[in-house]
Amino acid sequence: MKIRELRDFGFFAIKEALLILPIVLSVAVPKTFLGTWGLLYAFTAPSAVVLAFSRRTWSSFTYPKAHFLSAMAVLGGIILFRSQTSFFASWAVLLYAILLAVHPFFKGMVTAVGNSERSTGAWIRLSALFVGLVIWNLTRFSPYEVKLWILTVPPLVLSLSIIFAGRNWIFLSGKASFGREFGSMGNPMPASSLLVMALPVVSELTFLGVSTGRYWYLLVLPLYAYGFFASAGRGAVFGVLLSVPFIAYLGFQYSPWWLLIGILFFVVAALAARKYLKELWQRVVWTFKRGLTKEPRFFLWRDTLYFCVKEPLGSGYDNFRRSFMPYRSKESYLAEPTVHYDKVHNVFLEEWAEGTVVAFVLLIVILVELFLKGTLTLKGAIFAVIGDGFFGIYNPANWLYLWMLGSLAPLSSVFSVYWLYPCWALVVFAFVLTSLNHMPQVTAGNAHSSRLAGQRDIAAQLFNAAYTVFPWCVDYLSEWALLQMALLNEAKLNDDMAVGYHNTFKGLQPYLDRFASNIDDIYSSWLMFCGKYASLRKEGEAIYGRLQQVNPYSFRVRKACAHYLGNVGDWDLAMSFLEENINEYPFDADSYYMLVLACYEQHLWSTGRKYLQLWRDRFPNDSRLTELERALGI
């Protein structure tokens, strides 16, 4: 295993110095130059955040993405407070900021910063909103063209990162080359969402440049188009379709001829990527052809609506997977049995499910307000958000860009900056938390390396150390609990030691119940552990009942329940779980293995041979077949 503390601590020190330096400069720069410093901030801060969140090769264990965003928010607050005594916004925006600020106090500190991998907690979203508010106000009296450039630079930076992420960047190749190279969530969805939002902005900037004789503005188009076509997903198709009428009318206002040239450019670009776009369009059509009875995404949205009705106060930001698990339907599990939904794949439903119904309403009100008061470009961008958000997942960089678009709307409500002090204080606190989280993240990174190297005992110790140092990130605890329980299931303990370990997990149960995203896997291992020891089988009844509430349809849960029931002698129910698995999840070879063993344990010879034959037919290369036949004397 490669220990990375020293190398990463040096990187951490350099990063901290680079982040703290502009903060110190913002305090020290004379007021005469504060306006210029603020404009420089508006141009550079969003691009730094977009780069931090777009490059998957910068692991969250060595490069805390949220730390960059919170640093930019701290920096923006200093510039805003030094330059202005009031700020322009709207009541809906201010109320939404207050909701993000107070939500973790009701839903737990884990939801403030969020999962260390995704970092979409409430205070991280608040940081994105805060940066957007700062840019609104710092650029309020700037020329319109300057605002367009401020909004164009982040998508161009993102496109460049996409170009240099690919091995063969000369040819358009779509997700085949780029699908796993960027995007903080392992796919190009967040990159695609940001680029779709920027489409009306880039279009107007190009129209503006050409109409004033600055033809070099056309260089923006190929850069933008490459990033867009390389990352576009299903949501992008809807975003483009909804925003194109506004772009067309905007182009017509500048010049019908330049509109025609713009259309021809995008037709040529689309023809160059026609194979990929055809596949993308077929995927969209196939989604709706499958309909409400077969499409997994529709199952997810339906189940999420049911969850929202039952839990109107939401799950807490970045805590959807754990809270949603008991509400996921059997049809959804059968459609995608190996998928755990961390997000809703719908920005608006996600806001309701993770925030509250109030958060959902405020977001809609803000979008409507921006649409009504904004320019034609902003109206097109809002419709792009609506189309793309229907399928999308937003990371904090997407939220930041959405709020930045508000600079194109002349919001007229004036508030004292004192309203922002409490929010900024929480942003500063988030900056401190994400800074302190660096070494635990390095420790967790070493734990992942240990696990991949097969050193699971060391990995469990490292995850435990990471959680002990930084308890806000429950994913460290979840990883430790799952690894530790797997190790305990493999070990041979006496009853006293088993009871001791069981009591340790019992003490952590309330916290795991509330926040652990992989609670079903942890409980499954725990139930199997209880089934091994006579002194814990009574305790296993409560865990068995809890599993039936949390995730009754998972094939892993059913196998764990069958294992436990076999140990307590309830073979009929155990076999029924395994039979359900092989009927509903035909890829599950383990259930065949356990079912054959259960049949022979009960002397059901003919039934056992039947399932053995089915197992052999479906998995002829499974090495356990010959081993089991030899062990059972078949």
pLDDT digits (tens, 9 = 90+) for 568-626: 888 888 888 888 888 888 778 888 888 888 888 888 888 888 888 888 888 888 788 77
- Nearest Cα neighbor of 134 from 36, 41, 28, 26 is 41
Does the pLDDT value for residue 529 go beyond 70? yes
Angle at 209 between CA 205 and CA 212, to 5 degrees: 140
- Nearest Cα neighbor of 512 from 500, 524, 498 is 524
- Give pLDDT, residue 400: 94
Does the pLDDT value for residue 534 go beyond 80? yes
- Give pLDDT, residue 238: 84
Instruction: Give CATH for domain 481-632.
Output: 1.25.40.10
- In the three-class reduction of DSSP (H, G, I as helix; E, B as strand; rest coil), residue 530 is classed as helix
| Gap between the Cα atoms of 451 and 428, Å rounded | 34
Average the pLDDT over each of 261-275, 377-391, 426-440 and give the range with the smallest value: 261-275
pLDDT band at 168 (very low <50, low <70, confident <90, very high): very low
- Give pLDDT, residue 284: 67
**587 touches 618 (CB < 8 A):** no
* Domain assignments of the chain as residue spans, ordered by start: 143-286, 481-632
Segment 354-365 shows an average pLDDT of 93
Helix (H) or strand (E) holding 415: strand 413-416
Does the pLDDT value for residue 328 go beyond 60? yes
Provide the CA 330 distance to its chain's centre, in angstroms.
24
Return the C-alpha torsion angle 267, 271, 274, 278, nearest 10.
Answer: 40
Does the pLDDT value for residue 413 go beyond 80? yes
Measured between its terminal Cα atoms, the distance across the chain in Å is: 43
Tokens 């965003």 map to which residue?
69
pLDDT digits (tens, 9 = 90+) for 542-551: 899 888 888 8
pLDDT band at 173 (very low <50, low <70, confident <90, very high): very low
Q: Where is mean pLDDT largest: 340-354, 463-477, 589-603, 612-626?
A: 340-354
Does the pLDDT value for residue 57 go beyond 50? no
pLDDT band at 291 (very low <50, low <70, confident <90, very high): low
- In the three-class reduction of DSSP (H, G, I as helix; E, B as strand; rest coil), residue 123 is classed as helix
- How many C-beta atoms surround the C-beta of residue 633 within 10 A? 6
The letter for the amino acid at 596 is: V
pLDDT digits (tens, 9 = 90+) for 81-121: 998 888 888 899 999 999 999 998 888 778 888 765 567 88
- How many C-beta atoms surround the C-beta of residue 241 within 10 A? 12
Does the pLDDT value for residue 2 go beyond 80? no
Does the pLDDT value for residue 20 go beyond 90? no
- In the three-class reduction of DSSP (H, G, I as helix; E, B as strand; rest coil), residue 368 is classed as helix
- Give pLDDT, residue 158: 87
- How many C-beta atoms surround the C-beta of residue 153 within 10 A? 18
- Give pLDDT, residue 381: 95
The letter for the amino acid at 400 is: L
Half-sphere exposure of 37 (CA within 13 A, CB side): 21
- The beta strand positions in 26-142, using DSSP E, are 86-89
- Give pLDDT, residue 287: 65
Helix (H) or strand (E) holding 548: helix 537-550
Computed over every residue of the chain, the mean pLDDT equals: 82
- Write the DSSP string, 8-57: HHHHHHHHHHHHHHHHHHHHHS-GGGHHHHHHHHHHHHHHHHHHHHHBTT
Q: Exposed (0-12), middle (13-18) or buried (19+): which is 408, by Cβ within 10 Å?
A: buried
| Gap between the Cα atoms of 560 and 52, Å rounded | 40
- Give pLDDT, residue 31: 83
Q: Which two tokens stand for residue 609?
A: 């041979």
pLDDT band at 267 (very low <50, low <70, confident <90, very high): confident
Angle at 43 between CA 39 and CA 49, to 5 degrees: 130
- Nearest Cα neighbor of 129 from 384, 379, 359, 386 is 359
Segment 179-195 shows an average pLDDT of 58
Does the pLDDT value for residue 58 go beyond 50? no
| Gap between the Cα atoms of 247 and 253, Å rounded | 10
**217 touches 205 (CB < 8 A):** yes
Does the pLDDT value for residue 518 go beyond 90? no
Tokens 């939904």 map to which residue?
341
Measured CA to CA in angstroms, residue 287 lies from 189, 249, 290, 330, 331 at distances of: 17, 30, 6, 19, 16
| Gap between the Cα atoms of 175 and 393, Å rounded | 17
| Gap between the Cα atoms of 407 and 437, Å rounded | 33
| Gap between the Cα atoms of 338 and 325, Å rounded | 13
Does the pLDDT value for residue 344 go beyond 60? yes
Q: What contacts 286, CB < 8 A, 6 or more positions away? A: none
Quick one: CA dihedral 214, 215, 220, 225, positive or negative?
positive
Q: What contacts 52, CB < 8 A, 6 or more positions away? A: 58, 63, 65, 68, 69, 397
Query: Is the model more confident about 633 or about 509?
Result: 509
pLDDT band at 59 (very low <50, low <70, confident <90, very high): very low
Tokens 């460290």 map to which residue?
476
Query: Is the model more confident about 518 or about 8?
Result: 518
- Give pLDDT, residue 61: 43
Q: Where is mean pLDDT largest: 12-26, 180-194, 241-255, 469-483?
A: 241-255
| Gap between the Cα atoms of 53 and 64, Å rounded | 9
- In the three-class reduction of DSSP (H, G, I as helix; E, B as strand; rest coil), residue 459 is classed as helix
* Cα diameter, the chain: 90
**342 touches 517 (CB < 8 A):** yes
